Amino acid sequence: MKIVYSEDHRKHFPPFEVFDGGKRMRYHENPDRMDKILAALKKTDWAEFIAPSDFRLDPVLAVHDKDYIAFLASAWTEWLDSDPEVATSPEENAFLPASFALRRKSRVPGTLLGKGGYYMMDLSACIVEGTYTAALTSANCALSAAESVTNERLSAFALCRPPGHHAGKDYAGGYCFINNAAVAANWLSSRGKTAILDIDYHAGNGTQDIFYERNDVLTISIHGDPDFDYPHFIGYADETGADDGLGFHKNFPLPKNTNDEGYLSILDEALVLIRNFAPQYLVLSAGMDIFDGDPLGAFKITHEGFTEIGRRIAAPGIPTAIIMEGGYANEALGINTINLLESFK
């Protein structure tokens, strides 16, 4: 199996995040996540590592607002220029807004901090010097996996960091800046009918946002009920698409403590929808935070559960671009990733 990976992900490593209730703490989405997965993949006899190609900005701008991407590209340098104290110790700082756009219709402010509150959804999408480079490379990893899928008709794994599925058309959030899965799926959709299945613990709000009014890409998300967990405001069962996209989006919000049996039952329902849609390509947003013991999840999926999830998704034989999303029980990331991927190789 082709594994698309770049060391550029290490350029994005904020020194902290502001967590629930305002706690300042170590950044959960850190380079150690990739190291654990890489170590496990290198022990297999089927992982073929390749570097991502540079697809430039066009595929990114096909799903994201150009002014939002320009904000990501310039935010850090603008902040350094505007605050001399930050420039003296940049390694201790991360750019975050202090205010956020209200629910009523908002306009883009002219100031950097105002733009931050407009283009950023929360306090986990911290921007540091290398964030934009890492996010763009992560998108190129996803696109390279998609290209491999179309060329070889086999599945490929994009080892993306930062992840992407919380990034919407014009906002960052949940450790995500560019929606890697959406960029890959949109690119694939011009080459054949495409579906996205998101199995991350948290609802794929950004992916839903991007495709919600489209009928050429089926989007499905299985996740913890947003009534009690992040992202809180999107991911409910009655959100099924709008306009041309009505009926082409499906959320499966699940209760706390969902175990292997309960999860696999819902996965089977999702796979029926995918089979009926009959896509030529599948994009799998692969979040490992459904694991029992993940610090940011509340499901009870076991190592064996990941094996069966992978087996059922791979069974129809649809060429699949597997895109790494969340997963923060770092010591378990390697085995869970391998267990998921084994059926696709």
- Catalytic annotation present for 28: no
State the DSSP H helix or E strand holding residue 182, giving kind and residue range, or none if neither: helix 180-189
> What b/e string do you get for 181-201 counting C-beta neighbours within 10 Å, with b at 16 or more?
bbbbbbbbbeeeebbbbbbbb
CA distances (Å), 25 to each of 13, 20, 75, 289, 296, in order? Answer: 13, 10, 22, 19, 13
Q: Which two tokens stand for residue 290?
A: 């459904």
Q: Determine which one of 12, 64, 166, 249 is catalytic.
A: 166
Instruction: Please report which residue ranges of 96-179 form alpha helices under DSSP H.
Output: 112-119, 131-152
Q: How far is CA 149 from the centre of its chain?
A: 19
**Cross-strand pairs, 221:** 198, 251
* Distance (Å, whole) CA 132 – CA 95: 12
Sorted by sequence, the CB contacts under 8 Å of residue 88 that are 6+ apart come out as none
Catalytic residues: 166
